[in-house]
Amino acid sequence: MSKYSQSHSLLSIRGLTARSVNLLSKFIAHRFQHAYYRTKESMGQYKRDLVVQRVEEASDSLQETKVQFLDALERFKAVVQFETGSLEDKYKLLKQQFDFCDARAQIVADRIQAIEEVSDALFSEWEAELKEYSNRSLRAQSRQQLKLSKQHYNRLLKAMLKAEQKIQPVLGAFRDQVLFLKHNLNANAIAALQHEFSEISLDISQLIQAMEKSIAEANHFVHVLVEHKNLPTLPPAVKK
C-alpha cells in the first residue's frame, strides 16, 4: 500500500471515528435528558415548570451581569481618571473586573442553552401529543396555541441571544485594554486607555439596553405562565 493510500485510510478512519463519537455523544445526551425529565415529572415538576424555572434563572443572570458590567465600567473610569495608585494595582483591578464579567457572560450563555433544551423538549412533546386527540376541534385549538407559544418563545429567545451577542464585543474590548495595560505598565498606557473609555461606555450602554429588553421579555413570559397557568399567546399587535 502506498503512503498516500495509508494516509487516506487513516484520515478516513479518523473522520469516521470522530463522527461516531459525535453521534454517540448526542445519543447519550438525549437519553440522559429523557431520563432527567422523567425523573422530574415523577416528582411533580413538568417541562412547563422547568421552562419557567430556567427563564427566571436566565433573567436573574442577565440582571446580575448587567450590574457586573456597570460596576466594571465604574472601576474602569476610576482607573483612567485618577492618577493615584500604582499601575500594577490598576492592572490587577481591571483584570479582576474582566474575569468577573467573563464568568457572568458564561453563566448567561449556559442559562440560555438550558432554556433552549427544555423548551425544545416541551414543544416536541406537545407536537407529538396532538395526535392523541380524538376531538378535532380541541386538537385544532391546541395546535394554534402551540403555534402562538412557539412564536412568543422565539421572541424571548431572540431577545436573549441578542443581549448575549452584545456581551462578546464588550468583553473583547475590555480584554484588549487589560492586556494593553499589562504589557505597558506606564503613564502612556493610562493615557491611551482614556481615549477608549468613551467607546467602551457606549458599548456597555447598548448592552444594558439589550439586557433590559431581554429581562422584560422574560418577566412577561413567566408572568403569563404563572398567572394564567397556560403557555402565553402573542399580544394582539403581533398576531397574524
Is the predicted pLDDT of residue 14 greater than 60, yes or no? no
* 238 pLDDT more than 50: no
Q: Catalogue all structural domains in the chain, each as residue range(s) with its CATH number.
A: 46-228 (1.20.120)
Radius of gyration for the chain, computed over Cα atoms and rounded to the nearest angstrom: 24
Q: What SS3 class is residue 2?
A: coil
pLDDT at 195 over 80: no
Tally of helices (H runs) and strands (E runs) in the chain: 5, 0
Query: Rounded CA gap, 69 and 203, in Å?
Result: 11
> Where does the pLDDT of residue 151 fall: very low under 50, low under 70, confident under 90, or very high at 90 and above?
confident
Among candidate residues 51, 22, 35, the one with its CA nearest the CA of residue 120: 51
Q: How many CB atoms lie within 10 A of CB 118?
A: 22
Q: Which of 15-29, 54-68, 120-134, 135-149 has the lowest mean pLDDT?
A: 15-29
* Average pLDDT for 171-175: 87
Report the chain's mean pLDDT, rounded to a whole number: 77
The stretch 13-41 carries a mean pLDDT of: 56
- The SS3 call for residue 74 is helix
Residue matched to cell numbers 467602551: 200
Nearest-angstrom CA–CA distance, 65 and 62: 5
